[in-house]
Each structure stands twice: as structure tokens, then as C-alpha cells.
């Protein structure tokens, strides 16, 4: 099972949703980095905006890699003890795969031996360790002035305003970061929440899009072809549940542009820095950072766990059967996924920044 990501930094996620614990090991972190555990907890609390995930913020059990508040250079290992015990050890999931979930594909891939309790290692719960790693990387990056921020850009057609793609600031990022419902424009957020409530009452779930930016990333980070900065970010983002699309800068809008519109001319600003006028490239050219804000947008499908009966196939009898409604559904996962998107970008940026001269 591919639970290890290795690209300068090495990240290994372990455990299962209903097992004794889930956790993460992060290797190759620079030694001597101060980590504020209160800030780590504050970052992870954002992941717990929705019900059923409060225990996933409690990463106080750090087993190695930190001494006297600083990284030691050895692997940083942390885990969450799972206090929720499964009601049974054998579920109907192994014979009645839930539509939209990985029950069916997981059963085929692992010949029926995979942990089926709430999805096991394929559960959304496994994003919590990734959030922890992203929170660690964020502190190391922010000490160098590099800030990553995200917000809910769209839910079910209702749109928030965008970050400026050319001049977004650290202050604008921080203004959204600790909102309970992370949007830039509060009025848009209220409309989204009203729509989420209506969907919940109808037993439905909603998806949407998250916009993420990173500022003060120096030019020259990344490599072409297989080790591009977009490649690394995309690989980590596609570890998140329900993601279905990703675009950088102008994204698919470039299909409506001419070459001169897409090219985005260079100029020198008042401080002598090389900039571009519109940042259609999203801060990355040829897999390498340009010095402009890194801008991306990730699309997520509605959660598959809905409070409605659905048709499925009984894998024992190979007959169509009705699967009962799941009344533990989370109507919209977008608030919880905002720090997950930031985390993926933070891990990718730090992995490339380790090559930057005098970074460590």
C-alpha cells in the first residue's frame, strides 16, 4: 500500500481509521528548527471544523524528532490514539460496497484482506497525519517569510472572491486562516452555509473548490519534467479524498486565450524585482517558481457518505441490493479540507526549498 512519499522530505503515514492509532513519520527535516506545539495544535484544530473529527487534532504524542522544542534531525514521529472503538469487527462493507467509496476497488486490490472498518487506510481520517506534517512544514517556511493560505472558493455554484493573483499579502492570508468558515467574503460564506444546511435537510452532500496561494516563494525553486514544482504539489494534493481536478494560475481559462494573452509579460517593479502583469502561469514556469505568488485551485466532489438509500451490488450473491442511508454523513467536507490543501502545498514547498542555497 503506497503510504510513503519520498522527495527530499520523506513522509510515511500509518494506521487505519478504526485501528488503535493513526500517525506519521517525517524524515529529513532540518535539525534545530523550533516548533511551537501550541501553533501545531491551532493548525490542526482547523481540521476539526466538522463533527466526528475532534480526536484527530490531538497529536500531542510526539515520539521522536523533537527535543527541547527543536527538531533533532532524526525522524519526527507523531500519532493520534483512536479512542473510538468500532461497534463490530466485521462490516457489511465487504459484501455491500458503498457507492462513491473505495470499498469495491479496495476489496479487489487487496483481495478482500483490507481493513474495511470505515474505510481503514482508505478513510478520510488518514488526512489528519498529512495535516500534522503540513503544520510542521508551515512553521519552518514561515520563519523564512513564506506563507501559504487557502479558502473555500466555491460550493455548489456559490463563489467567494479570489485572492489577488499578483499582489496577495501575508496579512490577507492570515485574515482568513482562523475563520471558522474559511472564506474571504463573509456574505458569500453565509450563502454557502445556508446551502449546506438545505442539502443536509435533504440528505445530500456538497462539493466545491478550494483556492490556495503561497507568497514570497523565491524564483528558481523546482526542476523541469518529472520533478517540477507543480508535479510535487499535484502528487500530494491527489492524496486527499474526493479531489477531482487541479489547475494552476489561469488554469483551463487559457484555452480561451491567445498566446500573447497567456504569455504574461515581464516587467521590473519599484523595488527592482522581476514580476509579471497577470500571473496567468500561477507562479510556476517550466516546473520552476517565478517569484510570483503560487496560485492553484482544487476541485472536490461531494462526500460519498450520504443520508439516502442507494443501490449497490451484493458481492456475495452478485445481486443488486438497496444500501440503507448513512446518517453519520458530513454534508460538506470543504472547511476541513482547506488546511489539508495548505498542508500538501507546504510539504511540497519545503521539500524543494531544501535545495535552495543557505535555506538550512
Which CATH number belongs to the domain containing residue 132 in this structure?
A: 3.60.150.10
**Rounded distance, CA 322 to CA 309, Å?**
7
**Rounded distance, CA 39 to CA 41, Å?**
5
- Asked if 170 and 215 count as a contact pair (C-beta separation under 8 A), the reply is yes
Residue 359 falls within a domain, yes or no? no
CA distances for 97 relative to 101, 105, 117, 241, angstroms? 7, 9, 12, 17
The pLDDT tens digits for 231-249 are 999 999 999 989 999 999 9
pLDDT the model gives residue 64: 94
pLDDT the model gives residue 55: 45
The pLDDT tens digits for 252-290 are 999 999 999 999 999 999 999 999 999 999 999 999 999
pTM: 0.91
Residue 358 falls within a domain, yes or no? no
Residue 14 falls within a domain, yes or no? yes
Q: Of residues 160 and 324, which shows the higher confidence score?
A: 160
Residue 360 falls within a domain, yes or no? no
User: What average pLDDT does the segment 305-320 reach?
Assistant: 86
* Number of structural domains in the chain: 1
User: What average pLDDT does the segment 40-53 reach?
Assistant: 73
**Rounded distance, CA 84 to CA 196, Å?**
27
Angle at the Cα of 133 from the Cα atoms of 19 and 153, rounded to 5 degrees:
100
Residue 260 falls within a domain, yes or no? yes
Enter the C-alpha cell of residue 342.
495548505
The pLDDT tens digits for 125-176 are 778 899 999 999 999 999 999 999 999 999 999 999 999 999 999 999 999 9
**Rounded distance, CA 139 to CA 134, Å?**
9
Residue 268 falls within a domain, yes or no? yes
pLDDT the model gives residue 116: 63
User: What average pLDDT does the segment 288-317 reach?
Assistant: 91
pLDDT the model gives residue 2: 62
The pLDDT tens digits for 66-84 are 999 999 999 999 988 777 6
Mean pLDDT computed over every residue of the chain: 88
- The band of 207, judged by pLDDT with boundaries at 50, 70 and 90, is very high
- Asked if 135 and 40 count as a contact pair (C-beta separation under 8 A), the reply is yes
Range of the domain at 133: 4-353
Measure CA 140 to chain center.
Answer: 18
Amino acid at each position: 500500500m503506497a503510504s510513503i512519499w519520498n522527495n527530499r522530505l520523506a513522509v510515511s503515514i500509518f494506521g487505519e481509521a478504526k485501528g488503535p492509532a493513526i500517525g506519521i513519520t517525517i524524515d529529513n527535516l532540518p535539525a534545530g528548527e523550533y516548533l511551537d506545539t501550541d501553533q501545531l495544535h491551532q493548525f490542526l484544530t482547523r481540521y476539526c471544523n466538522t463533527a466526528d473529527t475532534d480526536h484527530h487534532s490531538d497529536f500531542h504524542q510526539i515520539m521522536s524528532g523533537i527535543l527541547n522544542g527543536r527538531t533533532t534531525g532524526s525522524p519526527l514521529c507523531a500519532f493520534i490514539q483512536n479512542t473510538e472503538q468500532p461497534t463490530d469487527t466485521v462490516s457489511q462493507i465487504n459484501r455491500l460496497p458503498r457507492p462513491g467509496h473505495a470499498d469495491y476497488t479496495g476489496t479487489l486490490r487487496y483481495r478482500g484482506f483490507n481493513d474495511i472498518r470505515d474505510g481503514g487506510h482508505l478513510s478520510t481520517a488518514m488526512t489528519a497525519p498529512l495535516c500534522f506534517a503540513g503544520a510542521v512544514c508551515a512553521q519552518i517556511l514561515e520563519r523564512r517569510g513564506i506563507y501559504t493560505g487557502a479558502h473555500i472558493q466555491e460550493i455548489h455554484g456559490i463563489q467567494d472572491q479570489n485572492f489577488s493573483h499578483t499582489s496577495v499579502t501575508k496579512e490577507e492570508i492570515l485574515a482568513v486562516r482562523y475563520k471558522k468558515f474559511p472564506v474571504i467574503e463573509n456574505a458569500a460564506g453565509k450563502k454557502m452555509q445556508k446551502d449546506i444546511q438545505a442539502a443536509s435537510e435533504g440528505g445530500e452532500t456538497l462539493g466545491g473548490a478550494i483556492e490556495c496561494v503561497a507568497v514570497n516563494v523565491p524564483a528558481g525553486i523546482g526542476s523541469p519534467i518529472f520533478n517540477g514544482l507543480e508535479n510535487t504539489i499535484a502528487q500530494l494534493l491527489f492524496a486527499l479524498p474526493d479531489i477531482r481536478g487541479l489547475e494552476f494560475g489561469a488554469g483551463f481559462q487559457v484555452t480561451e486565450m491567445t498566446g500573447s494573452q497567456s504569455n504574461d509579460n515581464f516587467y521590473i517593479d519599484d523595488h527592482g524585482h522581476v514580476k509579471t502583469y497577470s500571473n496567468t502561469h500561477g507562479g510556476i514556469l517550466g516546473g520552476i517558481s517565478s517569484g510570483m505568488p503560487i496560485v492553484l485551485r482544487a476541485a472536490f466532489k461531494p462526500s460519498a457518505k450520504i443520508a439516502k438509500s442507494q443501490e449497490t451490488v451484493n458481492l456475495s450473491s452478485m445481486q443488486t441490493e438497496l444500501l440503507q442511508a448513512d446518517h453519520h454523513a458530513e454534508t460538506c467536507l470543504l472547511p476541513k479540507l482547506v488546511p489539508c490543501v495548505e498542508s500538501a502545498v507546504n510539504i511540497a514547498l519545503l521539500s524543494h526549498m531544501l535545495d535552495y542555497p543557505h535555506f538550512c
